[in-house]
Chain A
Amino acid sequence: MHINHDITENSEKSIRELIEQKRQQRNFKEMFEKSIPTFLFLIASISILTTIGIIYTLLSETIEFFKRVPMTDFFTGTVLKPLSQTPEFGVLPLIMGTLTSSVIAMLVAAPIGLMSAIYLSQYASDKVRKIFKPLLELLAGIPTIVYGFFAFTFVTPLLRQFIPGLEATNILSPGIVMGVMIIPMIASLSEDAMSSVHNAMREGALGLGATKLEVTRKVVIPAALSGIIASFVLGISRAIGETMIVTIASGSTKNFTFDITQSMQTMTAYIVEVTGGDAATGSTIYYSLYAVAMTLFVFTLLMNLLARRISRKFREEY
């Protein structure tokens, strides 16, 4: 009895120690567990910091630019001569170049992309689709610099055989090549939209005796319209932000014109030209870089928000 009591007392002591030890371990483990969400939140906030960083750098330098050049001069000026004795900073030539090349790109990409989407989602068998889709996606995987090379060394010389007045750098050829680059994007987004149209609608129309073309034209496309339009808007946004193709193939002439056979500069190409030319920090040219980049950023942001809004509407309906 006596011995037994002794043992209990002894082991009780060690058990108490064990409990204490265990509790410390658990405390550490709990602290570790609890710190993980905070740590991961910090990592996740890098993406927000990136956005803040972009907006802050663009905005602060743009404000500095507008202290030197009035906003009205910038947004309504049709002459851009940053390096002349009396420099002029009108952004309209750049906007003209950007919009012209984007319109040409969309004239290529929208019909061809949409028709590809129709073929892949309505006509092609599973087997054909499985071959064609990844092949089309290859187009999207080619670096834009390669497209630039292609536009400059192949498409422009080719076009010059048909259009005698075409300059060696012009806005037409990069526009077309940019369109080719955007085809897979429009094709795949539009195909998604068309594939998600209810089969019952399709079959109902087919059952009434409509041909496949009629079903596509009168049922599938109207039903998928918002998805298709969203893909077009995203395509335009992509074309506006594209840099290397236009930098190489459209030249650096700041033309305010509708003539697509001439060299024109886009907003992106201007940014490349100014940064490449080592503009001295603090000069007006240096700040104009940020004003142009801000304009580009706002353009593409608006396009992307618009596309999201349109496609969200589409998701609610079906």
Chain B
Amino acid sequence: MVRRTKFRLVLDNLSKYIFLLATLFGLLVLSVLIYRVVVDGIGWLNFDFLTGKLSTQPERAGIMGAILGTFWLMLVVTPVTMFLGVGTAIYLELYAKKGRVQSFIETNISNLAGVPSIVYGILGLTVFARAMNLGNIALAGGLTMSLLILPIVIVASQEALRAVPSPLSEASYGMGATKWQTIKSVILPVALPSILTGAILSLSRAIGETAPLVVIGIPALLIPFPGSIFDKFTVLPMQIYYWTLDSSLTAEYANLAAATIIVLLLCLLVLNSTAIIIRNKFQKQF
């Protein structure tokens, strides 16, 4: 009996370390990945690379075009998703009657969140690029990307609105304010930090997403720097994609891809830390 108990305790202790090791496995892969990328890419990361044009010669290639393209893409995605996402969330949380319509829209949104990103690419290709004849310009890519991250922004904004304490809005109604006045001047300002946190996190998803843009057909060849949302464009992940594919031809392309990955990951790091800072600064305001 004693021996059996001892065995059980040993097994318990042992399993604890096995579970810990499993948890560490993910982090180990993460560190190997980052280590590899930095080793491969850091030597190629310099001012000329950041400001240079695309080139067929690896030594002279730069990613300014992709940086500008990412900028124009986000210039479309940010206002469109904020407007549609926050608007939908306000409707669902504050206006829609609890019932069929509301639950239908919410079910629909959670289904959309599970649709693979490449299917959004096909939607964008068919509707924006071909039917609306926009082609592969930043506007078409941005609209596609907006639809892709819309479900995330809606759900995050809904949670933010739900978290606003009801005494605040009740006080506003008590003073004779109308519903929209209350939303505009009381609820939205209070919910704004959480809405922004959610929005920044989903925008960072849009920056890293590649599949929909591949489907829309982003040119792999040299193009001039995009100057507006109506220009053909490329983005950082697309650049990584092409250079990774080319790395089997010329090994240096792998270095270029790695250097671009460093830039992309740094962008995401900045965005995500901004989100965390906003969250921490405004947490538990009331």
Interface residues of B in 253-285 (CB under 8 A from A): 254, 257-258, 261, 264-265, 268, 272
Interface membership of B163, Cβ < 8 A? no
A304 to B90, CA, bound (A): 26
Main SS of chain B's interface residues? helix
| Inter-subunit contact B95/A141 (CB<8 Å) | no
| Inter-subunit contact B211/A268 (CB<8 Å) | yes
A118 to B17, CA, bound (A): 11
A47-B109, A149-B37, A214-B12 given; name 8 further pairs at CB < 8 Å.
Answer: A44-B91, A46-B84, A46-B150, A143-B209, A213-B11, A213-B16, A242-B116, A243-B211
Interface membership of B237, Cβ < 8 A? yes
Interface centre among A146, A153, A213, A244 (most CB of B within 10 A): A146
Interface membership of A13, Cβ < 8 A? no
Interface membership of A33, Cβ < 8 A? yes
Interface membership of A120, Cβ < 8 A? yes
Residues of A within 8 A of B (CB): 29, 32-33, 36-37, 40-41, 43-48, 50-51, 53-54, 57-58, 61, 111-112, 115-116, 118-120, 122-123, 132, 135-136, 138-139, 141-150, 152-154, 168, 180, 183-184, 187, 211-214, 234, 237, 240-244, 247-248, 268, 271-272, 275-276, 278, 281, 289-290, 293, 296-297, 300-301, 303-305, 308
Tally of contact residues, B, Cβ under 8 A = 83
Chain A residues, CB < 8 A from B27: 132, 135-136, 139
A150 to B244, CA, bound (A): 10
Nearest A-chain residue to B114, judged by Cβ: A304
Q: Which single member of A33, A47, A122, A237 contacts B179 (CB below 8 Å)?
A: A33
Nearest B-chain residue to A115, judged by Cβ: B22
Q: Which single member of A44, A132, A248, A268 contacts B23 (CB below 8 Å)?
A: A132
Main SS of chain A's interface residues? helix
Interface membership of B75, Cβ < 8 A? no
A40 to B87, CA, bound (A): 6
Chain B residues, CB < 8 A from A142: 30, 33, 208, 265
| Inter-subunit contact B217/A271 (CB<8 Å) | no
